[in-house]
Amino acid sequence: MKKRVFLKTTAALAAAAAFVGTASAQTTPIKFQLDWRFEGPASLFLVPAAKGYFKDAKLDVSIDAGNGSGGTVTRVASGTYDMGFADLAALMEFHANNPDAPNKPVAVMMVYNNTPASVMALKKSGIKTPADLNGKKLGAPVFDAGRRAFPIFAKANSISGVQWTAMDPPLRETMLVRGDVDAITGFTFTSLLNLEARGVKAEDVVVLPYPDYGVKLYGNVIIASPKLIKENPAAVKAFLSAFAKGIKDVIAKPEAAIETVKARDGIINTALETRRLKLAIDTVINSPDARAEGFGQVVPGRLSLMASQVSDAFNTKTRVNPDTVWNPAFLPAKAELNVLPAAKK
What is the pLDDT at residue 344? 67
What is the pLDDT at residue 343? 72
| pLDDT score of 17 more than 80 | no
Is the Cβ–Cβ distance between 163 and 134 less than 8 Å? Answer: no
Is the Cβ–Cβ distance between 187 and 39 less than 8 Å? Answer: no
Domains of the chain, with CATH numbers? Answer: 27-114+219-330 (3.40.190.10), 117-213 (3.40.190.10)
**What pLDDT digit, counting tens, does each position of 296-335 carry?**
999 999 999 999 999 999 999 999 999 999 999 999 999 9
**What pLDDT digit, counting tens, does each position of 165-219 carry?**
999 999 999 999 999 999 999 999 999 999 998 999 999 999 999 999 999 999 9
Contacts of 259 (CB under 8 A, 6+ apart): none
| pLDDT score of 22 more than 50 | no
| pLDDT score of 20 more than 50 | no
Mean pLDDT score, 68-93: 96
Sign of CA dihedral 106, 112, 113, 114: negative
Mean pLDDT score, 21-42: 85
Backbone φ and ψ of 59, nearest 5°: -120, 140
State pTM to two decimals.
0.90
What is the pLDDT at residue 19? 43
Q: Which of 220, 165, 174 is nearest to 194 (CA)?
A: 174
| pLDDT score of 21 more than 80 | no
What is the pLDDT at residue 6? 46
| pLDDT score of 23 more than 50 | no
Mean pLDDT score, 217-243: 98
- What percent of the chain has a predicted confidence (pLDDT) above 70? 92
Q: Average pLDDT of the chain? A: 92
In whole angstroms, what is the distance from residue 328 CA to residue 232 CA?
Answer: 16
Is the Cβ–Cβ distance between 233 and 129 less than 8 Å? Answer: no
How does residue 2 score in pLDDT terms, banded at 50, 70 and 90?
very low
